[in-house]
Structure 1
Amino acid sequence: MGKKVAGTAYVKVDGGQVTVTGGVECPLSDKKRESVAPGFFKEEDLVPYVKVTFVDDPDVPIKQIMAATNSTITAELANGRVYVLSGAYVVDEPSSKGDDGTLELEWHGIKGAWQ
């Protein structure tokens, strides 16, 4: 029997759903490990994040999203996994692509958790 592992994903920004057209990316861990010698490693904290490409619908509250510094982003993936990012704010260089009518945003936050 086949299992669904990819396909339609759903993303909510402060409770309002956006229409995802591209990928949704969420980290699997909150730590980055690097070996310093066989059997020894160092560990760094990673900033939790969500990256998404979605439809530039005129109803999407862009000004509100860009100004927010304490958002909750919920990503529901096609395989049933759900990632919730809290205390989120937009980072890097968000963009609107007129040729395909999409927005690309990345949020960083205080806490990210798989549910």
Structure 2
Amino acid sequence: MADTTNRLAGTAYLSVDGKTYMLVGDFSYKVSGVSRETLMGMDGVHGYSEKPAQGYIGGTLRDSGGLSLSDLNDMSNVTVVCELANGKTVIGRNMWSTDQQENKATDATIEMKWEGPTVTEN
């Protein structure tokens, strides 16, 4: 058995509501948290404002032939899970698809992004 303790990148496995999708690459995510904006006055820095910020999970999927763009676009209230090579698991709950997806027929890829209130990494 190969020692994977030093593996940091290279593989990832993506599923949505338990269904596995082919992940080509460009995987990215942002955990849920807060967004802060510095509040400036004419006399200096006054402090900051803070508000909740949604998390996201995104990547480029491969169109396996059975994949439907309208099904991807209709995704709402889904759970997105990605297992990364470094041992992390990224989980997004109550996610929805954003933008309208398009298929790039030259390499059968679809750029996909989900946003939602809760994205965590374990």
Alignment partner of 1:77 is 2:84? yes
Higher gyration radius (CA): 2
Write the mapping of 1:26-105 to structure 2, written as runs, cut at 5 A. Answer: 26-36=29-39, 40-105=47-112
Alignment partner of 1:22 is 2:25? yes
CA–CA separation in structure 1 for the residues paired with 2:35 and 2:91: 19
Structure that is richer in strand per residue: 2
What TM-score do the two structures reach when normalised by structure 1? 0.83
CA–CA separation in structure 2 for the residues paired with 1:63 and 1:35: 40
Q: Which residue of 2 aligns with 1:5?
A: 8
CA–CA separation in structure 2 for the residues paired with 1:93 and 1:59: 18
Q: Unaligned stretches of 5+ in structure 1?
A: none
Percent identical residues: 27
What TM-score do the two structures reach when normalised by structure 2? 0.79
Q: What's the CA shift for 1:61?
A: 4.3
CA–CA separation in structure 1 for the residues paired with 2:59 and 2:84: 12
- Of 86-95 and 76-85, more deviation after overlay is shown by 86-95
- Of 27-36 and 74-83, more deviation after overlay is shown by 27-36
Q: Unaligned stretches of 5+ in structure 2?
A: none
Alignment partner of 1:110 is 2:104? no
Q: What's the CA shift for 1:25?
A: 0.7
RMSD (Å), alpha carbons: 2.2
The residue type equivalent to 1:102 in the other structure is T
The residue type equivalent to 1:20 in the other structure is L
CA–CA separation in structure 2 for the residues paired with 1:75 and 1:92: 20
